Amino acid sequence: MKTNSLFNVPLLSPAWKKVAIGFFPLPVLLVIGISFSNPQFNPDEVAQIIYGFWAIGFGMLILTREKVEDEMIKSFRLQAFQTGFYWLIWGIGAIMLISYVRYGRFTSEFFSAYLILFLLNLYIYAAFQLQLYQSKKEK
Amino acid sequence: MKNFIKIERARHNLTQQDLADKVSVSRQTINSIEAGKYVPSTVLALKIARVFELPLEEIFELEEGD
């Protein structure tokens, strides 16, 4: 059965996993380098740089093909995107609640597009890996 | 959903990998189906039935609560 090409998501080859893993230590090294070269560097931006790079890293990991991309893996991937989004909504809700309790307002400087993307991709990746682990675990 | 893949595999002297190769999925997928952790699509279920040359309902069976 063919899927409408409009809904087809092309996946990266498995070799991209190595590139994705490189995105995890990279921002740490970058921040150390920047802080040496520019002592006036705003430390608030450190977290955003790290979130941005890690969001890309996890984004690549969730869009990389498995060795055998069969229907079970595809179903795990679909479920992971749905579950990841669901966890993100609850996570944001929790952050908003904590912010309200501590500072009396729902909004926080803590929120950024980088953080949300990082959390979303992390949750999707976690949900996918958890399903893979459960499928491999003996009964 | 209950299935009798393991029994049919033994009857046809097939390993999980053999069956996986015949229906173009991973061995892990066959293992998950046998363990009842994953319910295959209609297409995959029909492919498995074809390997064993049996009607679908002789390999897969609905359980209470399905």
Does position A109 have pLDDT exceeding 80, yes or no?
A: no
In sequence order, what are the residues at sequence separation of 6 or more whose Cβ sits closer than 8 angstroms to the Cβ of residue A8?
none
A8 in contact with chain B, both atoms CB, cutoff 8 A? no
Find the radius of gyration of the CA atoms of chain A.
18
Q: Nearest CB to A135: which of B24, B28, B41?
A: B28
Considering the entire predicted model, what is its pTM? 0.88
A129 assigned to some structural domain: yes
Domain residue ranges in chain B: 2-57
* Residue A120 is assigned to a structural domain of this protein: yes
**Is A4 part of a structural domain of the chain?**
no
B38: which chain A residues are within 8 Å (Cβ-Cβ)?
Answer: 72, 75, 135
- Whole-complex ipTM: 0.88
Does A139 sit within 8 Å of B25, measured CB to CB?
no
- Asked if B26's CB is within 8 angstroms of A72's CB, the reply is yes
C-alpha distance from A68 to closest chain B C-alpha (Å): 6
For chain B, residues with pLDDT lower than 50 are: none
Q: How far apart are CA B61 and CA B3, in angstroms?
A: 6
CB contact under 8 A, B37 and A70: no
By C-alpha distance, the chain A residue nearest B28 is A136
- Cross-chain residue pair A1–B37, CB shorter than 8 Å: no
Looking at the predicted structure, is the pLDDT value of residue A110 above 90? no
SS3 A113: helix
Query: Has residue A45 got a pLDDT over 80?
Result: yes
- Given CB atoms, is B40 within the 8 Å cutoff of chain A? yes
Residue A128 counted as domain residue: yes
* Rounded Cα–Cα distance for residues B30 and B39 (Å): 10
Report the first-to-last Cα separation within chain B, whole angstroms. Answer: 7
Domain count along chain A = 1
Q: Looking at residue A36, what is its pLDDT?
A: 85
Q: Does A2 touch chain B (CB under 8 A)?
A: no
The answer to the question of residue A5 being in a domain is no
How confident is the model over A130-139, as pLDDT tens digits? 999 999 886 5
pLDDT on residue A119:
94
Helix (H) or strand (E) holding A136: helix A113-136
Range of the domain at A64: 16-138
pLDDT digits (tens, 9 = 90+) for A54-88: 999 999 999 999 998 999 999 999 999 999 999 99
The answer to whether residue A9 is domain-embedded is: no
Tell which CATH architecture fits domain B2-57.
Answer: Orthogonal Bundle (1.10)
d(CA A65, CA A22): 17
Residue A114 within a domain = yes
DSSP helix, strand, coil percent of chain B (3-state; round to 5):
55, 5, 40
- Mutual orientation of helices B27-34 and B16-23 as an angle, nearest 10°? 110
Q: Return the pLDDT at A1.
A: 64
